[in-house]
Amino acid sequence: MKKLILLLSIVVLGISSCAQAVLPPAGKPDAELTKGEAELRIQQFEANVKTLQARLDEINKRADDTKNKLTEVNKQLQDCQDGILKLIGATREDVNAFRQRLGVLEGKVREMQRLSEDKLLERQEDVKKLESDLNELRASKISILPEFYQKIINLGKDIRGLYREKKITTYTVGTWAENRDCLWNIAGKIDIYADPFMWPKIWQGNTDQIRNPDIIFPGQVLQIPVKGPKTSEESKAERKYWRMKKQAQAEAGTTTGAQ
- Cβ proximity of 224 and 170 under 8 Å: yes
Q: Which residues contact 25 (CB under 8 A, 6 or more apart)?
A: none
Residue 193 lies in a domain: yes
What number is the average pLDDT over the span 148-161?
96
Residue 8 has pLDDT above 90, yes or no: no
Residue 257 lies in a domain: no
Q: In terms of domains, do 154 and 190 share one? A: no
Q: Which of 199, 207, 185 is nearest to 235 (CA)?
A: 199
Kindly report the average pLDDT of the chain as a whole number: 87
Q: In terms of domains, do 226 and 180 share one? A: yes
Q: In terms of domains, do 173 and 154 share one? A: no
Model pLDDT for residues 198-229, shown as the tens digit of each residue: 999 999 999 999 999 999 999 999 999 988 88
For residues 115 and 38, give the distance between their C-alpha atoms in angstroms, rounded to a whole number: 77
Q: In terms of domains, do 155 and 204 share one? A: no
Residue 39 lies in a domain: no
Residue 106 lies in a domain: yes
Residue 11 lies in a domain: no
Residue 3 lies in a domain: no
Q: In terms of domains, do 151 and 93 share one? A: yes
- Residue 63 phi, psi dihedral angles, 5° rounding: -65, -45
Q: In terms of domains, do 176 and 154 share one? A: no
Return the bridge partners of 170, or none. 223
**Total structural domains within the chain:** 2
Model pLDDT for residues 56-83, shown as the tens digit of each residue: 999 999 999 999 999 999 999 888 888 8
Residue with the larger pLDDT of the pair 221 and 250: 221
Residue 49 has pLDDT above 90, yes or no: yes
Final residue in a domain of this structure, among 107, 135, 160: 160
Residue 118 has pLDDT above 90, yes or no: no
* Predicted pLDDT at 15: 38
For residues 232 and 81, give the distance between their C-alpha atoms in angstroms, rounded to a whole number: 50
Residue 217 lies in a domain: yes
Residue 51 lies in a domain: no
Final residue in a domain of this structure, among 160, 191, 216: 160
CATH number of the domain that residue 207 is part of? 3.10.350.10
Q: Which of 239, 254, 227 is nearest to 119 (CA)?
A: 227
Residue 40 has pLDDT above 60, yes or no: yes
Q: In terms of domains, do 111 and 137 share one? A: yes
Final residue in a domain of this structure, among 112, 134, 160: 160
For residues 63 and 60, give the distance between their C-alpha atoms in angstroms, rounded to a whole number: 5
- Of the chain, the percentage scoring pLDDT greater than 90 comes to 63
- Assign residue 219 a region (left: φ > 0; alpha: ψ between -120 and 50; beta: otherwise): left
For residues 125 and 102, give the distance between their C-alpha atoms in angstroms, rounded to a whole number: 19
Lowest mean pLDDT among 11-15, 86-90, 113-117, 148-152: 11-15
Q: In terms of domains, do 150 and 126 share one? A: yes
Q: In terms of domains, do 186 and 211 share one? A: yes
Model pLDDT for residues 119-145, shown as the tens digit of each residue: 898 899 999 999 999 999 999 999 999
Range of the structural domain that residue 99 is part of = 88-160
Q: In terms of domains, do 121 and 150 share one? A: yes
For residues 111 and 245, give the distance between their C-alpha atoms in angstroms, rounded to a whole number: 43
Query: Would you place residue 21 in the very low, low, confident or very high pLDDT band (cuts 50, 70, 90)?
Result: low
Question: Which pTM was predicted?
Answer: 0.47
What number is the average pLDDT over the span 8-30?
58
Q: In terms of domains, do 107 and 151 share one? A: yes
